[in-house]
Structure 1
Amino acid sequence: MFTGMSAFPLTPMNETGVDEVAFIRLLKRITSAKVNSIAVLGSTGSYVYLSREERFRITQLAVEHSEGIPIVIGISALRTRDVLYLADDAQKLGAHGVLLSPVSYQPLTDMEVYSLYDMVASSLSVPLCVYDNPTTTHFQFSDELHGKIAALQQVRSIKIPGVPKEIDAAKERVKQLRAYLPSDVTIGVSGDPYGAVGLNAGCDAWYSVLGGLYPEICMKIARAALAGQSELADNLSNRLAPLWQMFLKYGSLRVIATIAEMLGLTDTPNLPLPLQSLNGAARLELETMLPILDN
Structure 2
Amino acid sequence: MFSGLSAFPLTPTNESGIDEAAFVRLVERLADAGVDSIGALGSTGSYAYLTRAERARIAQLAVKHAGNVPVLVGIGALRTRDVLALAEDAQHAGASAVLLAPMSYQRLSSDEVFELYETVTRSLSVPLCVYDNPGTTHFEFNDELYRRIARLPNVRSIKIPGVPSDTDAARAHVERLRALIPSHVTLGVSGDAFAATGLNSGCEAWYSVIGGLFPRTALAITRAAQAGDRQEASRLSARLQPLWAQFSQHGGSLRVIATAAELRGLVERPVLPLPLKVLQGASRQRLAVLLDELELA
Do the two structures share a fold, i.e. TM-score over 0.5? yes
Decide which moves more: 279-288 or 42-51.
279-288
1:257-284 CA-to-partner distances (Å, cap 9, x unmatched) read 0001011111111000000000111111
Deviation, structure 1 residue 67: 0.9
SS of 2:261's equivalent? helix
Residue 57 of structure 1 corresponds to: 57
Contact 2:7 2:38 in 1 (8 A): yes
Question: Which moves more between the two structures, 284-293 or 56-65?
Answer: 284-293
Separation of aligned partners in 2, 1:205 and 1:130: 13
Q: CA deviation at 1:293?
A: 2.9
Report the counterpart of residue 130 of structure 1 in structure 2: 130
Equivalent residue number for residue 20 of structure 2: 20
Shift in Å at residue 120 of structure 1?
0.2
Aligned partners of 2:2, 2:95: CA distance in 1, in Å? 13
Q: Quote how far apart the aligned CAs of 1:141 are.
A: 0.5
In structure 2, how many angstroms separate the alpha carbons of the residues matched to 1:140 and 1:24? 33
Supply the distance in 1 between the matched residues of 2:119 and 2:212 (Cα, whole angstroms).
Answer: 30
- 1:282 matched to 2:283: yes
Cα 1:54–1:29 shift into 2, 3 Å:
same
The residue identity in structure 2 corresponding to 1:293 is: E
The runs of 5 or more residues in structure 2 that have no matched partner are none
CA 1:110/1:294 → structure 2, altered by over 3 Å: closer, same or farther? closer
Could you tell me which residue of structure 2 aligns to residue 105 of structure 1? Answer: 105
C-alpha displacement of 1:249: 1.3
Deviations 1:9-32 (A, max 9, x none): 000010000000100111111111
Q: Percent identity?
A: 60
Tell me the secondary structure at the aligned position of residue 39 of structure 1: strand
Q: AA paired with 1:255?
A: V
What is the alpha-carbon distance in structure 2 between the residues aligned to residue 198 and residue 279 of structure 1?
32
Q: Structure 1: how far apart are the matches of 2:25 and 2:93? A: 20
After superposition, where does 1:190-201 map in structure 2 within 5 Å? Answer: 190-201=190-201
Question: Are 2:242 and 1:242 aligned?
Answer: yes
* Partner of residue 37, structure 1: 37
Give the TM-score taking structure 2 as reference length: 0.98
Shift of 1:55: 0.3
- How far does residue 294 in structure 1 lie from its aligned partner after superposition? 3.7
Identify unmatched segments of 5+ residues in structure 1. none
- Superposition misfits of 4+ residues, deviation over 3 angstroms: none
Q: 1:233 Cα shift?
A: 0.3
Q: Distance in 2 between matches of 1:74 and 1:84?
A: 12
